[in-house]
Amino acid sequence: MKRRRFAVELENTDEPIVNLTPLIDVVFVVLISFMLIAPMLEMESIDLATAGVEKKKDLTSSAPLSILVKEDNTIWMEGKKYSLSELEKWLLVQKKKHPGKNPQVLHDKKASFGTYQSVKNTLEKCGFDQMDLILKPG
């Protein structure tokens, strides 16, 4: 008889089961909301600091200004090498000619981040609101 009582006591001492269904439901709702919101996000351009004065955009010009930062941290535009001061002068002229253009910055992955930041600061100083950052996979 003792053995029987002992076996019955072991059966009744089960641990309570944790219900994971509400947790899984919440995870699926969050996942679905991210899937719905992600395509609506605009990630093609970077907003720069405001220049203080709003300027009208020239809708007739759609060709971008291309600024290439090479591996050795040199800045190239239209096949010519520029320093930061020359870049600023050139950008001021281009901003007056084509105020609606957004410059494109093609930054080599081996170039330093400081060069990118200097180009970005120069664009802000010249009055550009946005720039397009072109990334190449690899």
Confidence check: pLDDT of 64 > 80: no
Q: Identify the architecture of domain 46-134 in CATH.
A: 2-Layer Sandwich (3.30)
Task: Give the model confidence (pLDDT) of 47-57 as tens digits.
Answer: 666 655 454 44
Sequence-distant (6+) residues with CB within 8 A of 120 are: 46, 48, 105, 131
For the chain, the domains span: 2-40, 46-134
Whole-angstrom CA distances from 111 to 4, 72, 114, 120 are 78, 6, 9, 14
Task: Give the model confidence (pLDDT) of 89-135 as tens digits.
Answer: 988 888 888 878 888 888 888 888 898 899 999 989 988 888 888 87
Is the pTM value of this prediction over 0.75?
A: no
